[in-house]
Amino acid sequence: MDAHKKLTIGLFGFGVVGEGLYKVLQQTSSLSAEIKKVCIKDPGKKRNAPDTLFTTDRDEILNDPEINVVVEVINETEPAYYIVSTALKNGKDVVSASKKMLAEHLPQLLKLQEETGRSLLYESSACASIPVIRNLEEYYDNDLLHGIKAIVNGSTNFILTKMFEDKLDFKSALLLAQQLGFAEADPALDVEGWDALNKWTLLLNHAYGIVTAPTNISFTGIQNIQLQDAVVAEEKHFSIKLVAQAQKLKNGGVAAFVMPQFVKQDDHLAFVKNEYNGVVIESGFADKQFFYGKGAGSFPTASAVLSDISALRYQYKYEYKKLYHHKPNVLSNDFHIKVYVSFNDWKHIPREKFESIDEWHADEDRKYLVGLLPFSELRENSWWKENNVSLILYPDPVVEDIDTRKLKKRSLELAGII
């Protein structure tokens, strides 16, 4: 597709993002792109566009030879996969914003791109307005990428900001987020960490060439964080964020997880508040670089979709350099992790699994400890997500090369005191 060729677009979905894209394209005449048809589910709904634009028949777009770009921004995973895979097979380039579908079907979609030679772009699926995928693809070499950590979910960040700054409890903060449109009526996807997990599955591929199912990455959301945890964080001069993190280990593997984390006041991510997203990338020679922007909403997401559409004029494709041109990395559980754990009852905490317990505190109703756990313990068990237990990672949580025997002895001594 040369730079002067007109892009004729078939759009699936006319919700917040779809309508945002329609409006943005009307204001971007220089792009030489127009939407020919929009496929929607409910033909009776009033929309701010001519009725002739809409259809309920997806094949009208998928089989139209004039349509050379399919843009998919719907909420349902399996229909989205059908649309994207069929469009690629039919010789169309595709732009998608469906992170859940992309994360769950990544191996099949990689194969389809190779087989068809078509381009599938999805910058809007992670961090909306922040161009993080393109940067990981083009700018950061695999061997020099030490680590990446990010706030990738605006809803949870908004809730945590309100818990800290306005001293709201979790339920009140969630209700406010729903009233303002930052959280869904069913907020589980955001609050329990699923949305961040899907985004992280995609970013791990572009950062380290790792292709894995979302379920292979350890994660939890903010559903168990108590107001008291926020109080403890403030006493220690930390804030709490839901952080997605990946870090290169000395053994050559990659540590990756999505969990609440204490963040130091001078950390870049401490400045990311409300519905904003932030990404910190650490590389061998460039040190740390910080990307910041709106992670959700009509126009921020539409701007990322627009950027992908624009790139298609130049036949842009993800090359997946870390996957195809380097030796891909693998996920590793061979490290320790420093955690803060708060809970109501000691019986739910397997103290013998801790390599060390550095701090413990017991009030009548709520107790907490700070200690070091083998990461495999979190992979293999779920006590840290159950029985009202709240687990929050310490800053710089990944710990390698420790003398476990000395620490274990101290841990058992402390366990005896408790």
Q: Please state, in angstroms and rounded to a whole number, the distance separating the CA atoms of residues 62 and 12.
A: 10
Q: Please state, in angstroms and rounded to a whole number, the distance separating the CA atoms of residues 45 and 56.
A: 12
Tell me the backbone φ, ψ of residue 368, rounded to 5 degrees. Answer: -150, 160
Contact between 341 and 390 under an 8 Å Cβ cutoff? The reply is yes
Q: What angle do CA 201, 205, 207 make, to 5 degrees?
A: 110
The catalytic position among 99, 199, 248, 338 is 199
Q: Please state, in angstroms and rounded to a whole number, the distance separating the CA atoms of residues 216 and 200.
A: 11
Buried b (16+ CB within 10 A) or exposed e, 225-258: bbeebbebbeeeebbbbbbbbbbbeeeebbbbbb
- Residue for token pair 């029985």: 387
Q: What angle do CA 21, 27, 30 make, to 5 degrees?
A: 105
Query: For 252-406, where are the E strands, in sequence order?
Result: 254-264, 276-283, 287-294, 336-343, 356-362, 367-374, 390-399
Q: Please state, in angstroms and rounded to a whole number, the distance separating the CA atoms of residues 329 and 349.
A: 33
Based on C-alpha coordinates, what's the Rg of the chain? 23
Tell me the two tokens of residue 267: 């950390």
Residue 199 annotated as catalytic: yes
Helix (H) or strand (E) holding 189: helix 188-191
Query: Catalytic amino acids?
Result: 199
